[in-house]
Structure 1
Amino acid sequence: MPENQWPMWEVFVRSARGLSHVHAGSLHAPDATMALRNARDLYTRRNEGTSVWVVPTSAVSTSDPDSKGGFFESPQGKNYRHATYYDKSEGVPHL
C-alpha cells in the first residue's frame, strides 16, 4: 500500500434489530473511528441503519471463487449433515 493512501475498510450495516449485518461497501479511512463516521455518512444517510461495523479489508479472509466446486460441494458419505438423513421422531410434537 502506498504511504499516501489510507487503508481500506469493509462496511457492514444492520438495517433493523434482529436482522443480520449485510456488506454495504468499502471505503478508505485512516483509523477505525474515522471509518465508522464515514460509513455512517455514506451508507446510512436515510436512517436505514441501526448498527454499523467496519473491518479492515486486510483482516478479511475469503474463499477462492475459482475453487467453488470443491470448496462448497458436500463430501460423499456425509449424509448425516442433512436433515433428510434422520427419521422423524414419534411423540415429539414440534418436529
Structure 2
Amino acid sequence: MSDPDYSADGGHGAVPLKNVPTGLGERPRGEWPLYEVFVRGKRGLNHVHVGSLHAADDEMAVRNARDVYTRRNEGVSIWVVRADLVVASSPDEKDPMFAPAGDKVYRHPTFYDIGDDVPHM
C-alpha cells in the first residue's frame, strides 16, 4: 500500500509531496523548477552537461544532482542552474552569430609583416 504523502515517480526513491520547506516557499512537487546539471570529472578541466532534474530549491538541486549524477564518485564539482535563468542564442540566428570572420583581415596572419628573423610562424 502506498503512502499518499510520498511518490516514487521517476525511480529515485520516495519523495515527499507535502510540506517540503524550501527557499522558494511551499509549492507542490509538480511545480518545482527544472535545473540543468553540469559535472566536472576528475580528469576534466571543464563542466559537462549531464542532465536535468526538478528540485524545490538550489540546495536540494545540488544534493539531488550529487546523488543522481555522481553515484560512482566520478565528479569533483557540480553546477546546477535553473533552466528558466539560462540565456541562449536561437538556432535560427546561427549564421549571423557564428559566421566566419572573413571580413576581419586583422584576424589573419597575412595582415601582419613577419620579420626575417622569425623562423616559423
- TM-score tier, shorter chain, comes to 0.7 to 0.9
Match of 2:91 in 1: 65
**Cα separation, partners in 2 of 1:12 and 1:90, compared to 1, 3 Å:** farther
Structure 1 residue runs of 5 or longer lacking an equivalent are none
Q: In the TM superposition, what are the counterparts of 1:1-95 in structure 2 within 5 Å?
A: 4=28, 5-16=31-42, 19-82=45-108, 85-86=111-112
Q: Which has the higher contact order (CA 8 A, sep 6+)?
A: 1
Kindly report the root-mean-square deviation, in angstroms, between the aligned alpha carbons of the 2 structures. Answer: 2.6
The SS at the match of 1:12 is: strand
Paired AA for residue 51 in structure 1: S
Matched-pair identity in %? 57
Structure 1 residues 91, 16: CA separation in 2 closer, same or farther (over 3 Å shift)?
farther
User: Following TM superposition, by how much is the alpha carbon of 1:80 offset from its aligned partner in structure 2, in angstroms?
Assistant: 2.2
Instruction: Tell me which moved more, 67-76 or 50-59.
Output: 67-76
- For residue 86 of structure 1, report the CA deviation from its aligned partner: 4.4
**For residues 88 and 18 of structure 1, what CA distance do their matches in structure 2 show?**
37
* Count of residues in correspondence between the two structures: 93
| Residue type of the alignment partner of 1:53 | W
Q: Offset of 1:61 from its aligned partner?
A: 0.5
The answer to whether the Cα contact below 8 Å between 1:17 and 1:50 also exists between their aligned partners in 2 is: no
Rate the CA distance shift 1:77–1:53 in 2: closer, same or farther, 3 A.
same
After superposing on structure 2, the runs of 4+ consecutive aligned residues of structure 1 that deviate more than 6 Å are none
Larger Rg: 2
SS, match of residue 75 in structure 2: coil
